[in-house]
């Protein structure tokens, strides 16, 4: 079982968001490796997924400003080894590790922690709540809603028409992740 590793330079660039505001449908439900580029076509992140479409949607929400161009290699049979080999090969071909695969990896891979972007007033209010866990949860949920609205505004400004739904259960923890 071998999958050829296509050099990153040999692959076609696809717009992350098409003219109708949608992610590329050809990756829906597909196993593959993908490279994400910013508006200047500078490599930002290389990842792989069992459902490339869902992963690309997560990255778009987490790192909107860096998701403009895309290169993809779909593979037929799931094999972590093959996926990792392709990812490693592309990173090596790039000549340096993209920020999203190094110091910025958490921003690309983990749910958005809205506690890190609380306003000074929100921090003061949060720290002022001593023993009331329900009040803390409510405050975190409101912060998450504020950040969610900011993200949705950014996506709308980019012309995104994809349905974006965040997991409501995570909001009371101050986290945002797609449902």
Q: How many domains does the chain have?
A: 2
Query: pTM surpassing 0.85?
Result: yes
Do residues 134 and 122 share a domain?
yes
Do residues 15 and 49 share a domain?
yes
**Domain range for residue 73?**
8-109
pLDDT in tens, the chain (179 residues): 446 899 999 999 999 999 999 999 999 999 999 999 999 999 999 999 999 999 999 999 999 999 999 999 999 887 899 999 999 999 999 999 999 999 999 999 999 999 999 999 999 999 999 889 999 999 999 999 999 999 999 999 999 999 999 999 999 999 999 98
Do residues 23 and 105 share a domain?
yes
Q: Is 3 inside any structural domain?
A: no
Long-range contacts, 103-112 (Cβ 8 Å, 24+): 107/62, 107/63, 108/45, 108/47, 108/59, 108/62, 108/63, 109/47, 111/170, 111/175, 111/176, 111/177, 112/61, 112/62, 112/147, 112/151, 112/175, 112/176, 112/177
Q: Is 124 inside any structural domain?
A: yes
Q: Is 2 inside any structural domain?
A: no
């Amino acid at each position: 079982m071998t999958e050829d590793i296509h050099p990153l330079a040999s692959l076609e660039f696809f717009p992350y968001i098409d003219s109708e505001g949608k992610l590329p449908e050809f990756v829906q439900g597909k196993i593959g490796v993908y490279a994400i580029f910013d508006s200047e076509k500078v490599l930002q992140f290389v990842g792989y997924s069992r459902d490339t479409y869902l992963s690309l949607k997560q990255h778009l929400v987490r790192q909107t400003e860096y998701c403009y161009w895309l290169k993809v290699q779909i593979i037929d049979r799931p094999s972590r080894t093959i996926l990792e080999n392709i990812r490693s090969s592309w990173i090596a071909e790039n000549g340096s590790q993209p920020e999203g695969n190094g110091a910025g990896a958490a921003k690309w891979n983990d749910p958005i922690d809205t506690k890190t972007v609380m306003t000074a007033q929100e921090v003061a209010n949060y720290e002022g709540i001593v023993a009331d866990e329900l009040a803390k949860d409510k405050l975190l949920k409101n912060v998450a809603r504020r950040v969610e609205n900011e993200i949705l505004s950014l996506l709308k400004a980019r012309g995104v028409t994809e349905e974006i739904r965040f997991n409501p259960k995570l909001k009371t923890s101050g986290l945002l992740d797609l449902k």
